[in-house]
Amino acid sequence: MLLEEKNVIVTGGASGIGLASVKRCLEEGASVVIADIEDSDGAAHAQKLDNQYSGRCLFKVCDVTNTAQVDKLFDDTVAELSSVDAVFNNAGIGGLCPSDDVSDDEYLRIIDINLNGVFRVARAALRVMYRQGSGSIVNCASILGVFGQSQTAAYTAAKGGVVNMTRTLGIEAAPKGVRVNAIGPGYIDTPLLEALDDDMLQGLIQLHPIGRLGRPEEIANAFLFLASDEASFVTGAHLLVDGGFTAGKS
Instruction: Band the pLDDT of 100: cuts 50, 70, 90.
Output: confident
The answer, yes or no, to whether residue 250 has pLDDT greater than 70, is no
Question: What is the predicted pLDDT for the residue at 148?
Answer: 86
Question: Model pTM?
Answer: 0.96
Maximum distance among all Cα pairs of the chain, rounded to whole angstroms: 52
Give the span between the Cα atoms of 142 and 120, in whole angstroms: 19
58 or 196: which leads in pLDDT: 58
Q: Residue 65 sits in which domain range? A: 7-240
Which CATH number characterizes residue 90's domain? 3.40.50.720
Query: What backbone torsions phi and psi does residue 7 show, to the nearest 5 degrees?
Result: -115, 125
> pLDDT digits over 182-195, tens only?
999 999 998 778 77
225 or 196: which leads in pLDDT: 225
Q: How large is the average pLDDT for residues 136-164?
A: 93
Residue 118 vs residues 89, 92, 134, 137, 149: alpha-carbon distances, Å? 6, 9, 19, 10, 21
Stretch (H or E) spanning 49: helix 42-52
The radius of gyration computed from the CA coordinates of the chain, to the nearest angstrom, equals 17
Q: Which of 147, 141, 156 is nearest to 207 (CA)?
A: 147
In this structure, of 200-204, 219-223, 239-243, the range with the lowest mean pLDDT score is 200-204
Classify residue 110: in a domain, yes or no: yes
Q: How large is the average pLDDT for residues 97-117?
A: 93
Classify residue 141: in a domain, yes or no: yes
Give the span between the Cα atoms of 123 and 66, in whole angstroms: 13
CB of 110 within 8 A of CB of 66?
no
| Active site amino acids | 155
Classify residue 14: in a domain, yes or no: yes
Classify residue 1: in a domain, yes or no: no
Count of domains observed in the chain:
1
Evaluated on CA atoms 30, 193, 48, 46, the torsion sign reads: positive
Q: 24 in helix, strand or coil?
A: helix
Classify residue 231: in a domain, yes or no: yes
